[in-house]
């Protein structure tokens, strides 16, 4: 998401719009737009917890996490195999950012014509295509595959996130669940990547590409899961009249949201915090091998500690965070992450760096689900799909652009620039969170 509406939910299926009465369409559209928005664009929460859909939504985040988690450990192999420098690695993150940006432009068009199940299916298929391209591709195609991957993630994960946030049963717990699934994927990804890349059968120059055969299998299961769990909306069609009305009301809602200070504060918080965590996780192996002199076959497992901490944080911290105050606790976690980043930077031990990185993952774990929970309380229900979708995609854009910038700077200044960049991102994210308004007791 960038400056346009992105992940507005399917207007006729999981997020139905109530019917307009004949008198509700006034002759003066501008004078009646507010009334139509409040009366017709009401987001209905799911009456019960649809467990199969919830599991598939969680698996889609797991699928994305496995893919993201493999990139960092593979960067040294990519550099060697394609005979490129860190500046060229930045192209991968740039194409990822381009995919999220393209999603921001195309999503409003797709939601006018596709149901929720169809949107999720398109997202899953695009991710499968991305993984299928990589084992045999040249550098150019390899980089372009990340555009398909991020585009697919934008369609599937943003809509899955909005779907889960509208569950009636304690949505903050279900949000924590699906984002813990992502962390589980990022935890497993480095293990898969390092084990396969270092295996005797992968010693050939392109042997590391065998990692993507595993990811193809993971993506096939993702496609199958969507086809089974969301079959109720996968094969249906949107009513033309509802299409037009839903799209018009969505645009009105987004125009209002773009003037909201709290929307931009939450979006920028995610933009910088995800930028910090993705940059730290993506470049840590190259940093520890180049700057700290670590052995690649051993250091390749260190991101597992980071993502293991992320997983533990998303499993253990949501309830204390919710109980003691989401706004207060995320501010404390941001301060702790900045302090631990200083420890990572200033002490020379690889073991000490690995421990500090693991705790950074742990305390940054609740950021995403908690922020989404706060956003669901700050925005009225009719605005939540647009608001949550906007925040989600802008967050992922930060997770793509800052690793790219780090790679470009590292071309001239060396990979050591990783540390001050990550520190500044954590500090800026914490300051922005401090400016986020207090959560009201009701969001209607």
Q: Is the pLDDT of residue 45 over 90?
A: no
What pLDDT is recorded for position 40? Answer: 36
* Contacting residues for 203 by C-beta, under 8 A, at least 6 apart: none
Residue 349's Cβ-count burial label (10 Å; 0-12, 13-18, 19+) is: exposed
Spans of all domains in the chain? 44-435
Highest mean pLDDT among 42-51, 287-296, 402-411, 421-430: 421-430
Output the 3-class SS for the chain: CCCCCCCCCCCCCCCCCCCCCHHHCCCCHHHHHHHHHHHHCCCCCECCCCHHHHHHHHHHHHHHHHHHHHHHHHHHHHHHHHCCCHHHHHHHHHHHHHHHHHHHHHHHHHHCCCCHHHHHHHHHHHHHHHHHHHHHCCHHHHHHHHHHHHHHHHHHHHHHHHHHHCECCCHHHHHHHHHHHHHHHHHHHHHHHHHHHCCHHHCCCCHHHHHHHHHHHHHHHHHHHHHHHCHHHHCCCCCHHHHHHHHHHHHHHHHHHCCCHHHHHHHHHHHHHHHHHHHHHHHHHHHHHHCCCCCHHHHCCHHHHHHHHHHHHHHHCHHHHHHHCHHHHHHHHHHHHHHHHHHHHHCCCHHHHHHHHHHHHHHHCCHHHHHHHHHHHHCCHHHHHHHHHHHHHHHHHHHHHHHHHHHHHHHHHCHHHHHHHHHHHHHHHHHHHHHCCCCCCCCC
10: confidence class by pLDDT, cuts 50, 70, 90: very low
Please give the average per-residue pLDDT across 306-325, as a whole number: 86
Q: Is the pLDDT of residue 55 over 90?
A: yes
What pLDDT is recorded for position 336? Answer: 94
Q: Is the pLDDT of residue 428 over 90?
A: yes
Residues 102, 108, 111, CA angle at the centre, nearest 5°?
115
Q: Is the pLDDT of residue 370 over 90?
A: no
What pLDDT is recorded for position 305? Answer: 84
More confident residue, 155 or 252: 155
The answer to whether 409 touches 421, Cβ cutoff 8 Å, is yes
Range in 138-142, 185-189, 274-278, 382-386 with the lowest mean pLDDT: 382-386
pLDDT in tens, 168-220: 665 667 878 888 898 899 888 888 888 888 876 655 557 788 899 999 999 99
Q: Is the pLDDT of residue 74 over 80?
A: yes
Distance from C-alpha of 284 to C-alpha of 133, rounded to nearest angstrom: 26
pLDDT in tens, 207-253: 788 899 999 999 999 999 999 999 888 887 765 555 555 556 656 66
Percent of the chain with pLDDT over 90: 23
Tell me which residue has tokens 């499993």: 315
Tell me which residue has tokens 């507005």: 8
More confident residue, 387 or 419: 419
What pLDDT is recorded for position 258? Answer: 73
Q: Is the pLDDT of residue 427 over 90?
A: yes
Q: Is the pLDDT of residue 19 over 50?
A: no
Range in 23-37, 143-157, 277-291, 333-347 with the lowest mean pLDDT: 23-37
CATH level 3 topology of 44-435:
Growth Hormone; Chain: A; (1.20.1250)
Residue-averaged pLDDT of the chain: 78
Please give the average per-residue pLDDT across 136-156, as a whole number: 91
What pLDDT is recorded for position 90? Answer: 78
* Token representation of residue 413: 């200044």
What pLDDT is recorded for position 170? Answer: 58
What pLDDT is recorded for position 171? Answer: 61
26: confidence class by pLDDT, cuts 50, 70, 90: very low
How many other CB atoms are there within 10 angstroms of residue 24's CB atom?
12
Q: Is the pLDDT of residue 350 over 80?
A: yes
List the one residue out of 174, 176, 159, 180 whose CA is nearest residue 390: 159
């Amino acid at each position: 998401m960038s400056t346009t509406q992105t992940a507005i939910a399917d207007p006729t299926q999981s997020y139905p719009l109530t019917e307009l009465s004949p008198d509700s369409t006034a002759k003066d559209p501008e004078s009646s737009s507010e009334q139509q928005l409040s009366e017709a664009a009401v987001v209905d929460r799911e009456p019960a917890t649809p467990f199969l859909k919830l599991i598939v939504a969680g698996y889609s985040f797991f699928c994305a996490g496995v893919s993201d988690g493999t990139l960092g450990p593979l960067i040294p192999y990519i550099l060697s195999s394609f005979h490129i420098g860190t500046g060229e690695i930045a192209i991968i993150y740039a194409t990822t950012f381009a995919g999220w940006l393209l999603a921001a432009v195309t999503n409003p068009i797709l939601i006018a014509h596709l149901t929720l199940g169809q949107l999720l299916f398109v997202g899953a298929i695009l991710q499968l295509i991305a993984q299928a391209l990589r084992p045999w591709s040249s550098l150019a195609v390899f980089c372009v595959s990340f555009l398909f991957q991020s585009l697919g993630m934008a369609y599937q994960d943003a809509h899955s996130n909005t779907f889960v946030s509208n569950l009636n049963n304690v949505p903050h717990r279900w949000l924590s669940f699906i984002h813990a699934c992502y962390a589980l994927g990022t935890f497993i990804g480095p293990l898969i990547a390092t084990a396969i890349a270092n295996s005797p059968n992968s010693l050939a120059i392109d042997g590391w590409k065998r990692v993507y055969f595993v990811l193809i299998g993971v993506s096939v299961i993702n496609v199958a899961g969507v086809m089974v769990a969301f079959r109720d909306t996968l094969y249906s069609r949107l009513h033309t009249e509802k299409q037009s009305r839903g799209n018009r009301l969505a645009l009105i809602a987004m125009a209002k949201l773009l003037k909201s200070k709290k929307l931009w504060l939450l979006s920028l918080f995610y933009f910088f915090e995800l930028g910090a965590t993705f940059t730290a996780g993506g470049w840590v192996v190259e940093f520890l091998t180049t700057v700290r002199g670590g052995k690649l076959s051993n250091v390749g497992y260190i991101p597992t500690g980071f993502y293991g901490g992320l997983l533990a944080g998303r499993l253990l911290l949501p309830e204390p965070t919710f109980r003691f105050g989401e706004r207060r606790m995320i501010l404390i976690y941001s301060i702790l992450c900045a302090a631990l980043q200083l420890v990572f930077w200033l002490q020379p031990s690889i073991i000490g760096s690995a421990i500090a990185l693991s705790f950074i993952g742990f305390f940054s774990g609740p950021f995403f689900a908690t922020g989404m929970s706060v956003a669901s309380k700050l925005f009225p229900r009719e605005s939540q799909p647009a608001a949550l979708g906007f925040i989600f995609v802008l967050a992922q854009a930060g997770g793509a652009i800052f690793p790219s910038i780090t790679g470009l700077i590292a071309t001239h200044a060396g990979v050591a620039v990783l540390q001050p960049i990550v520190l500044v991102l954590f500090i800026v994210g914490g300051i922005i969170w401090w400016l986020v308004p207090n959560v009201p007791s009701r969001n209607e």
